[in-house]
Chain A
Amino acid sequence: MNKKSLSTLGFILPSIVIVGIFVYAFIAWTVGVSFTNWNTLLPDWSFAGFHNYMSLFSNNLRFRMDLINNFTFLPFFVLGTMVLGFFLATLLNTGVKFESFFRTVFLLPMSISLVVSGTIWVWLYDPTNGAIDMLLKAIKLPTINWLGSTSFALPAIIIATIWQYTGFTTSIYLAGLRGIPQEIIEAAKLDGAHGFRLYWNIIIPMVQSSTVTAFVLMVQLSLQMFDIIWVMTSGGPAFATDMPAVYMFIASFKQNFVAQGAAIAVIIFLLTLAVVVPYLFTAGKITEEEL
């Protein structure tokens, strides 16, 4: 080994070792445990095959609800943040005054802990004095026990998470829109593309990479949604807002079903991989070309 590669190693090796342990070795450990009978306080490494997975999918009602909730949450959250983000970014990109004020406001929730915003939203949704029910009362609409109702708790959480993350997608789209060369838009306008057609044929295809990035990030966030649910409802009422990440935490750390918790974690991980790996490889290719 020559001197140059040795010194390179010195710069990058600490990171490789740390990430190797905390990411890759830990994933391997979790995958391994998910195939054991360790559903007790004390470690039990005896091989269980796919038992933990099969029991999750065959007779575990809670896990079934978790998946239904997660995949109900996901399209509303992903589409909500992306459509709203694209829309707001488009408006911000029209040369409005106070643009930086608006941007700062839209992104403000992203700087706040989900524990803080969860606590605020619980107060807003409070059925006796909360701001939202007070408003409903004032305009003579029936009030709703948002977080106490099995049908309204999940929509309530979706609204809170859209509030939290829309600034993120707005920023992604704004960066994308700023990257479109002005000449292209001018040329399209000369060719008679206006309004909806300009957006549909020119602008939306031009911000495709922003769309992909926003999509991957929002899907990924949906699949591991935990903090705000834990704070607002802990998965209730009657598991109406329970999600795999919540169940994983309960199973692993409250009930000592370590192998079952590990199996849930692996399922969350595989679902995440399905969207992230294709993204990483295309993104990797793009950066390689740039270099």
Chain B
Amino acid sequence: MKISRVVTYLILILATIFFLFPLYFLVVTSLKSLSEIYSTSSWSLPTHIDFSGFVVAWQGLKQGFINSFEFTIPAVIFSVFLGSLGGFALTKIKFKGSNSVFLFLLFGMFLPYQVVLIPLVKFMASIHLYGNIWSLIVTHTAYGIPITTLIFRNFYSSVPMSLIEAGKVDGANIWQIYTKIMIPISVPGIVVAVIWQFTNIWNNFLFGLTLGSMPTIRPVTVMLNNLKGSMISQWNTLMAGALLTALPTIIVYLIMGKYFVKGLLGGAVKG
């Protein structure tokens, strides 16, 4: 018994090292000067903390940061709101074909985005949104609906029907029931959906690459990749840039990890 315990912890610690070692190099390299990167081992800690990598990286990514926040926040709000409306309708207003509607929406979760990418660009051009920040807001809202609907459907299915009935008895209409009864008790569901959507949209690369051709709307992930192309082998700058890009989602994850897992499983296990 004792030995198997020791082995268990040993393996878990090895796994921890495996998952953390890239992040060690991320942080350590970002704090070195370029000359130190080429004169000392990449495994060693920085002899002097040097922020020049961060200074250069921030210059290259600042606009991307602003852009990413500018489309991520509205897209999170819209997709979470639509998901909550849909999840409510699917669970608390029984209607014919609700299961079909659910499958219709859910299918979008497994969509390989390649199959919508060309028409997406043409569509945005045809409605004169190509190059506009709204192209990214609309796109991320649209492709967020399946997962947010699923999260809220799972969340609302545990809310007892009697709560709705009570509202009806009090003479509330369906919209009042939604805003006065459901929204206030939805906070945990909203947190899960917001965190999941924020992480996904912030981290997205493909839509940014195809729709974000102009620097004025280009997401930070695309700018980081461009930085990689222009700062070849300047690893302190690149690691500083990577760290800055990852920071918003890492912070959210470390503070609200519990909800992140719920979003992950809300989209995975219950199907």
Interface residues of A (CB under 8 A from B): 4-5, 7-8, 10-12, 14-16, 18-19, 21-23, 25-27, 29-30, 33, 88, 91-92, 94, 96, 102-117, 119-124, 126, 129-131, 134-135, 163, 166-168, 171-172, 175-176, 209-210, 213-214, 216-217, 220, 223-224, 226-227, 230-231, 244-245, 248-249, 252-253, 258, 261-262, 264-266, 268-269, 272, 276, 279-280, 283-284, 286-288, 291
Contacts and interface: CB of A to CB of B under 8 A. Distances in A.
Given A7-B175, A116-B246, A14 B112 contact: no
A136 B139 CA distance: 45
Contact of B271 (A103, A224, A279): A279
A172 to B, nearest CB: 6
Given A119-B224, A131-B21, A287-B102, 15 more contacts: A5-B95, A22-B108, A26-B123, A107-B264, A113-B221, A115-B224, A116-B246, A122-B228, A131-B25, A171-B264, A172-B265, A176-B269, A213-B271, A224-B112, A280-B107
Contacts of B184: none
Given A26-B119, A112-B250, A224-B112, A12 B139 contact: no
B41 interface: yes
Q: State which size class the interface on B falls in.
A: 35 or more
Contacts of A286: 271
Contacts of A117: 22
B239 interface: yes
Top 5 nearest A-B pairs by Cβ distance? Answer: A283-B271, A113-B203, A111-B253, A11-B89, A22-B142
A115 B102 CA distance: 32
A179 B140 CA distance: 33
Nearest to B142: A22
A136 B9 CA distance: 26
Contact of B235 (A25, A123, A176, A224): A123
Contacts of A4: 93, 95, 174
A227 B206 contact: yes
B25 A124 contact: yes
B245 to A, nearest CB: 5
Nearest to A224: B112
A216 B268 CA distance: 10
Given A15-B145, A19-B142, A29-B119, A105 B19 contact: yes
A280 B25 contact: no
Contacts of B26: 120
Contacts of B270: 283, 287
Interface string B205-248: 11001100000000001101100100001010011011001100
Contact of B86 (A11, A103, A220, A265): A11
Nearest to A231: B225
B239 A120 contact: yes
Contact of A230 (B15, B99, B146, B205): B205
A23 B86 contact: no
Nearest to B270: A287
Nearest to A110: B264
- By secondary structure, the A interface counts as helix
Contacts of A121: 22
Given A16-B105, A113-B245, A113-B246, A224 B18 contact: no
A117 B203 CA distance: 11
B141 A113 contact: no
Nearest to B105: A19
Nearest to A271: B112
Contact of B15 (A11, A26, A88, A176): A88
A266 B252 CA distance: 36
Contacts of B8: 91, 94, 96
Contacts of A120: 22-23, 25-26, 239, 242
A134 B43 contact: yes
Interface string B101-116: 1111111101111111
Given A12-B90, A245-B112, A111 B199 contact: yes
B253 A108 contact: yes
Given A27-B116, A112-B250, A172-B269, A91 B11 contact: yes
Contacts of B21: 131
A18 B139 CA distance: 10
Contact of B264 (A26, A92, A168): A168
B268 to A, nearest CB: 5
Contacts of A287: 99, 102, 270-271
A171 B228 contact: no
